[in-house]
């Protein structure tokens, strides 16, 4: 078994992104800019946002953090998105999920101009992804493909099973694997014979959010296992620890390659957000012929 580590790959990728940001600033006299919208007090969201802002600072991407209380009205946030859409100094916009219950998350995200949709969640972006056209694809899915390519240069003909069909991870990663010539099986909460089908896979990607879901019964000897899940479990010492969907102790001895949690997919997600923001900024400048 060999580990697939996200941190070193993210660090190398971020060095290249930083070089491109320096060139962008030299040419346009202003940095690529990412606006991050937060509504409410979700503790995990605060940590994710802090990571994104920190990473952006490291590579020279400017951030604008816009925080709203839980009681904010959806119309108020939609108006802010419209202002950011019209602002040519802002190149990327994300709305941190989850949103408070009185928000219709999909409808709000749909307000983001597709060229600034750096989380890859609008219908326009996902339509491009469906067709296999170039687009700002969802960050976690991009990160997973990059991690896989470190151990499988050519994915052609490999059977990949994806657990989870969310618009943010499961479905986009399924499509990207299909475009990479894999045979893809996409599974969900209503799927039958999940362990049996996983055992036939060369690659198992779990994006469910259920600790210890993937046990040794799911994995063929030598298969590659990508654990996207993030859950928080209490420790005997009264603290919390992060765990994935995969029972690492059981699965690691059987797997050919496996990502740990933390330190696997997570660092690549933030890294791909930086890449999408820079790509968006370059695309917008090109569109304006600058
Ligand atoms: N590392 C990272 O950077 C990163 C980024 C994003 C998300 N995550 C983590 O990844 C996990 C998934 O995120 P998400 O946003 O995609 O979650 P989500 O929207 O809750 O989707 C979970 C998916 O899992 C499916 N599912 C539930 N039980 C299942 C089972 N027993 N077998 C197979 N599929 C099952 C659900 O099926 P139905 O569609 O039928 O309900 C659903 O499609 C979470 O733990 C999240 O925190 C990590």
pLDDT of 211-268, one tens digit each? Answer: 999 999 999 999 999 999 999 999 999 999 999 999 999 999 999 999 999 999 999 9
Q: Which atom of ligand 1 is nearest to the CA of 169?
A: 16
Residue 174 CA to chain centroid, in angstroms? Answer: 13
Specify the residue with its C-alpha closest to ligand 1, atom 2: 266
Same domain, 64 and 149: no
Query: What is the pLDDT, as a whole number, of residue 127?
Result: 98
How many domains, the chain?
Answer: 2
Contact 115, 284 (CB under 8 A): yes
What digits encode the pLDDT tens for the residues 72-96?
999 999 999 999 999 999 999 999 9
Instruction: Looking at the CA of residue 165, tell me the nearest atom of ligand 1.
Output: 43
**Residue 248: Cβ within 10 Å count:** 18
Active-site residue (options: 80, 96, 126, 146): 96
| CATH code of the domain covering residue 97 | 3.40.50.10860
Q: Which atom of ligand 1 approaches the CA of 269 most closely? A: 3
Q: Which of 111, 116, 117, 119 is catalytic?
A: 119
Q: Is 119 an annotated catalytic residue?
A: yes
**Pocket flag, ligand 1, residue 56 (CB < 6 Å):** no
* Per-residue model confidence as pLDDT tens digits over 1-14: 999 999 999 999 99
pLDDT at residue 236, as a whole number: 95
- Flag whether 6 is in a domain: no
Q: Is 245 a catalytic residue?
A: no
Nearest CA-CA partner of 129 in 173, 98, 186: 173
Q: Is residue 188 part of a domain?
A: yes
Q: Is the CB of 158 under 6 A from ligand 1?
A: no
Q: Ligand 1 pocket check: which of 48, 109, 166 to mutate, most ligand atoms within 8 Å of Cβ?
A: 166
The alpha carbon of 184 and the centre of ligand 1 are apart by a number of angstroms equal to 17
Q: Do 225 and 255 form a contact (C-beta atoms < 8 A)?
A: yes
**The CATH number of the domain where 191 resides is what?**
3.40.50.720
Task: Indicate whether 289 belongs to any domain.
Answer: no
| 284 in a structural domain | no
Do both 156 and 193 map to the same domain? Answer: yes
Task: Kindly give the distance from the C-alpha atom of residue 57 to the centroid of ligand 1, in angstroms, as a whole number.
Answer: 29
C-alpha 261/C-alpha 246 separation (Å) is 9
Distance separating the N- and C-terminal Cα atoms of the chain:
49
CA of 164 to the centre of ligand 1 (A): 5
The reply to whether ligand 1 has any atom less than 6 angstroms from the CB of 169 is: yes
Name the token pair of 151: 């151990």
- The domain in which residue 45 lies consists of 29-113
Question: Residue 158: CB partners within 8 Å, gap ≥ 6?
Answer: 152, 182, 183, 202, 203
Confidence of residue 20 (pLDDT cuts 50, 70, 90): very high
- For residue 181, indicate whether it is catalytic: no
Domain C-terminal end among 65, 96, 113 = 113
Check whether residue 234 and residue 154 sit in a common domain. yes
Domain for residue 108, yes or no? Answer: yes
Q: For residues 33 and 95, state if they share a domain.
A: yes
Per-residue model confidence as pLDDT tens digits over 21-68? 999 999 999 999 999 999 999 999 999 999 999 999 999 999 999 999
**CB contact burial 267-280 (16+ within 10 A = b; e otherwise):** bbbbbbbbbbbbbb
Q: Is the CB of 228 under 6 A from ligand 1?
A: yes
Q: Evaluate if residue 288 carries a pLDDT over 90.
A: no
Q: Give the model confidence (pLDDT) of 145-172 as tens digits.
A: 999 999 999 999 999 999 999 999 999 9
State whether 101 and 166 are in the same domain: no
Q: Residues 37, 108: one domain?
A: yes
Same domain, 99 and 144: no
């Amino acid at each position: 078994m060999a580990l697939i580590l996200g941190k070193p790959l993210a660090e190398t990728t971020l060095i290249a992104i930083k070089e491109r940001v320096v060139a962008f600033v030299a040419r346009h006299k202003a940095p690529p800019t990412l606006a991050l919208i937060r509504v409410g007090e979700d503790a995990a969201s605060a940590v994710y946002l802090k990571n994104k802002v920190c990473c952006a600072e490291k590579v020279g991407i400017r951030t604008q953090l816009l925080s709203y209380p839980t009681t904010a009205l959806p119309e108020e946030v939609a108006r802010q998105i419209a202002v950011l859409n019209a602002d040519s100094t802002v190149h990327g916009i994300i709305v941190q999920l989850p949103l408070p219950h009185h928000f219709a998350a999909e409808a709000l995200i749909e307000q983001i101009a597709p060229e600034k949709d750096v989380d890859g969640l609008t219908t326009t972006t996902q339509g491009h992804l469906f067709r296999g056209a170039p687009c700002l694809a969802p960050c976690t899915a991009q990160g997973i493909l990059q991690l896989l390519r470190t151990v499988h240069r050519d994915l052609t003909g490999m059977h990949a099973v994806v657990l989870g069909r969310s618009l943010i991870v499961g479905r986009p990663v399924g499509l990207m694997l299909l475009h990479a010539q894999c045979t893809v099986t996409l599974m969900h909460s209503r799927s039958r014979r999940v362990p049996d089908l996983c055992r036939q896979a060369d690659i198992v990607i779990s994006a469910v959010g259920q600790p210890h879901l993937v046990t040794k019964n799911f994995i063929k000897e030598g298969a590659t296992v990508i654990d996207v899940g993030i859950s928080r479990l209490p420790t005997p010492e009264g603290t919390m620890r992060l765990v994935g969907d995969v029972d690492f102790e059981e699965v690691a001895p059987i797997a050919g390659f496996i990502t740990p949690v933390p330190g696997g997919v997570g660092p690549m997600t933030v890294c791909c957000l930086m890449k999408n923001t820079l790509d968006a900024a370059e695309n917008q400048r090109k569109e304006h012929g600058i």
